[in-house]
Amino acid sequence: MSAGSEKGDSSPLGATPSPDGVNFSVFSRHATGVELLLFDGIDDTKAASVVRLDPAANRTYYYWHVFAPNVRPGQLYGYRVEGPFDPSSGMRFDPAKVLLDPYGCGVMVPSAYDRAAARRPGDNAATALKSVVVDVSAYDWEGDVPLQRPSSRTIVYEMHVRGFTRHPSSGLSDKTRGTFAGLIEKIPYLQRLGITAVELLPVFQFDSQDSPPGLVNYWGYAPVSFFAPHRGYSSRRDPLGPVDEFRDMVKALHRAGIEVILDVVFNHTAEGDHSGPTLSFRGLDNATYYILDADRSRYANYSGTGNTLNANHPIVRRMIVDSLRYWVDVMHVDGFRFDLASILERDESGSVLPSPPVLWDIESDPALAGTKLIAEAWDAAGLYDVGSFVGDSWKEWNGRFRDDVRSFFRGEEGVIQAFADRLIGSPSIYGHEQREPEQSVNFVTCHDGFTLNDLVSYDRKHNEANGEDNRDGADDNRSWNCGVEGPTEDPDIDKLRTRQAKNFFTVTMLSAGMPMMLMGDEVRRTQGGNNNAYCQDNATSWFDWTLLAKHADVHRFVSLLNARRVLRDVEHEEKRVALNQLLLQEDITWHGVKLGEPDWRNSSHSLAFTVRLTMDRTHYHTILNAYWEPLEFELPPVADGGRHPWRRWVDTFLDSPHDIVEWEQAPAVPGRTYRAEPRSVVVLFADLEPERRS
The residues carrying an active-site annotation are: 339, 376
Q: Rounded to the nearest 5°, which phi and psi values hold at 581?
A: -65, -40
Positions of E strands within 54-210: 59-60, 63-69, 76-82, 85-86, 91-92, 107-108, 130-132, 156-159, 197-200
| Contact criterion met (CB below 8 Å) for 545 and 163 | no
**Which amino acid makes up residue 376?**
E
**Burial of 691 (C-beta count, 10 Å sphere; 0-12/13-18/19+):** exposed
Give the C-alpha separation, 253 to 187, whole Å: 7
Residue 396 to residues 26, 401, 587: CA-CA distances in angstroms? Answer: 34, 11, 26
260: left (phi over 0), alpha (psi -120 to 50) or beta: beta
DSSP β-bridge partners for residue 516: 156
Q: Which of 281, 367, 326, 335 is nearest to 106 (CA)?
A: 326
Backbone torsion region of residue 411, taken as left when φ is above 0, otherwise alpha when ψ lies between -120 and 50, otherwise beta? left
> Distances from the Cα of 55 to the Cαs of 13, 34, 79, 157, in angstroms?
17, 8, 15, 50
Give the whole-angstrom CA distance, residue 647 versus residue 687: 9
- For residues 325 and 304, give the distance between their C-alpha atoms in angstroms, rounded to a whole number: 27
648: closest CA among 629, 619, 668, 627?
668
End-to-end Cα spacing for the chain: 83
Number of residues that make up the chain? 694
Q: How far from 332 is each of 158, 243, 543, CA to CA, in Å?
A: 18, 12, 26
* DSSP letter (8 states) at residue 435: -
Rounded distance, CA 607 to CA 681, Å?
A: 10
What ranges make up the beta strands (E) of 391-475? 395-397, 440-442
CA dist 660 and 648 (Å) reads 8
Burial class of residue 82 in the structure, from the number of CB atoms within 10 Å of its CB (0-12 exposed, 13-18 middle, 19+ buried): middle
